Structure 1
Amino acid sequence: MGVAEPAAGLSAPPSFAGMVAPPAVGDVSIVIPVLDEERWLPRLLDSIAAQTVAAAEVIVVDAGSSDATVAVARARGATVVEGGGLPGVSRNLGAERARSEWLLFLDADVRLPPTAVEVMLSQMERRRLDAASTAFAPDGDRVLVDLQHRLSSWYFRASSRMGWPHSIGAFLFVRRELHRRIGGFDTGVTVAEDQEYVVRLSRVGRYRFARRPVVEIAQRRFDDHGFWKMSLKWLAIEVHRMLLGEIRHDRFGYFR
């Protein structure tokens, strides 16, 4: 019986009888912008370590944390880049350091299912994509928050198919060369920079909002601000983009 070849874009280390082979390594650099994320970062890094296809590198871009965020990142083997700012700024800094063909942008408060990297690499090859985002679900059990996330995922997928691409910056998989080609994230966009990014990206590459993997994201904004206030803020941001264009001011106070 022949030995199966590793999937395209993956390198498989040798296995030895009586030993469990480590996972294949994908040509993927993970970039995580952070600011005081010592509570959430460990669970994300643990979920990255548990992937069936490992990332080649994990780059944590710190915007000046005053807690143990940097120590947590280094203790788990991540490369730390200092000097970040708003998420778009930090993602661009991380991408500049990345060496892999693919970039996976994550937020610190998400948790990946074990097959997330493997599933994305497979989809990119099978569907000949250059970039993709994916569905997301809250980590709590609040019915309204769960429904809101399901509706948002449906809306992002439907609008992307109809020619107005949407993404979730908490999980954004993109070919590094395409990221460089469009000049990365527009650092002048203060809110919904991930949405503006995929609009430009889709003009020069193939982008899709996928059904899987479903990524778990903390519902902390809803806990901190309340369901209706947070939902109305998201709606106001979307209406602003529709009627007035991308957001280049801080009147929403989204990252305060």
Structure 2
Amino acid sequence: MTGQALAVIVPVLNEAANLPSLARNLGAAVAEDTEILLVDGGSLDDTVAVAEGLGLPIIISAPGRARQMNAGAAATRAPVLLFLHADTHLPMGADARVLDALKGRSGWGRFNVRIRGRSRVLLPLVAALMNQRSRLTGIATGDQALFMRREFFDAVGGFPDQPLMEDIEISRRLGRITTPRCLRMRVTTSGRRWEQNGVWRTILLMWHLRWSYWRGTPAHTLAQRYNDQG
């Protein structure tokens, strides 16, 4: 890879505690010339100060994950964009694998995901189901670290300005252009959401929200349900 061919964009909100491990992962997983950009959406903790102390470039944007990711894309000129959650770690050589995957006609894709947590049965099962569902439907989630060429990102207008399901919606729109590259290489995401709220309860909630979204329930309505129950 030469120059900043790829940018890793990380939306953050009150993630100060996770940034040291994120910085270590990025330092090991991607080439030194890969652009890394954090986008803060109004953290109330020390996220910005910690990022600056770790040498992680960070900008401030309007709150909301979709807005943060769009702001990050606008702030970089890299031709390939990888969107990463702050509690998700990339595998070694992820940048080279993404660039290789996008050499052909495919303009976007995602990784398989592994969920890190205490449960050695349920969380691996959840991850396996997520990966298989995504492979069958062509719909990716943010936990799977979406990546895309900039022209495809621009063609669909970036992430839709909605408070939830922005990953589902951009997958839908990108899927109308071309099928995704579903990489078997795995990112590792935190199981904190499942473990804090209960694995089965979280699974049922997410299934309900997805089903409701497919049936046409507005994203802002679903976001309220998620905040009330999540």
Which SS does the other structure have where 1:77 is aligned? coil
Is residue 221 from structure 1 mapped to residue 202 from structure 2 by the alignment? Answer: no
Question: Which residue identity does 2:147 align to in structure 1?
Answer: F
Q: Could you tell me how far apart the structure 1 residues matched to 2:100 and 2:54 are? A: 27
How far the C-alpha of 1:26 sits from its partner, in A, is: 5.2
1:128-167 equivalences under 5 Å are 128-142=105-119, 143-160=121-138, 166-167=139-140
Is residue 231 from structure 1 mapped to residue 203 from structure 2 by the alignment? Answer: yes
Bigger relative contact order, structure 1 or 2 (CA pairs below 8 A, ≥6 apart): 2
**Unaligned segments of structure 1, at least 5 residues:** 1-9, 12-24, 161-165
How far the C-alpha of 1:79 sits from its partner, in A, is: 2.0
1:26–1:54 contact (8 Å) kept in structure 2? no
Q: Any idea what the Cα deviations from partners look like across 1:22-53, whole Å, max 9, x if unmatched?
A: xxx55011111111101212212211111253
Choose which of 12, 28, 35 in structure 2 pairs with 1:34: 12
Which SS does the other structure have where 2:69 is aligned? helix
Q: Could you tell me how far apart the structure 1 residues matched to 2:227 and 2:96 are? A: 32
How far the C-alpha of 1:132 sits from its partner, in A, is: 0.5
How far the C-alpha of 1:139 sits from its partner, in A, is: 1.2
* 1:105 aligned residue: 83
How far the C-alpha of 1:121 sits from its partner, in A, is: 1.3
Q: Whose Rg is larger?
A: 1
Is residue 247 from structure 1 mapped to residue 224 from structure 2 by the alignment? Answer: no
How far the C-alpha of 1:86 sits from its partner, in A, is: 1.5
User: How many equivalent residue pairs?
Assistant: 226
**Unaligned segments of structure 2, at least 5 residues:** none
2:117–2:195 contact (8 Å) kept in structure 1? no
Which SS does the other structure have where 1:244 is aligned? coil
Is residue 71 from structure 1 mapped to residue 49 from structure 2 by the alignment? Answer: yes
* Structure 1 vs Structure 2 CA RMSD: 1.9
Task: Among all aligned residue pairs of Structure 1 and Structure 2, give the percentage whose two residues are the same amino acid.
Answer: 28
Question: Which residue identity does 1:185 align to in structure 2?
Answer: F
TM-score (norm 1): 0.82
1:117-136 equivalences under 5 Å are 117-125=95-103, 127-136=104-113
2:51–2:57 contact (8 Å) kept in structure 1? yes
Question: Which residue identity does 1:68 align to in structure 2?
Answer: D
Which SS does the other structure have where 2:110 is aligned? strand
- Larger relative helix fraction: 2
Deviates more, 1:228-237 or 1:241-250: 241-250
TM-score (norm 2): 0.90
2:116–2:123 contact (8 Å) kept in structure 1? no
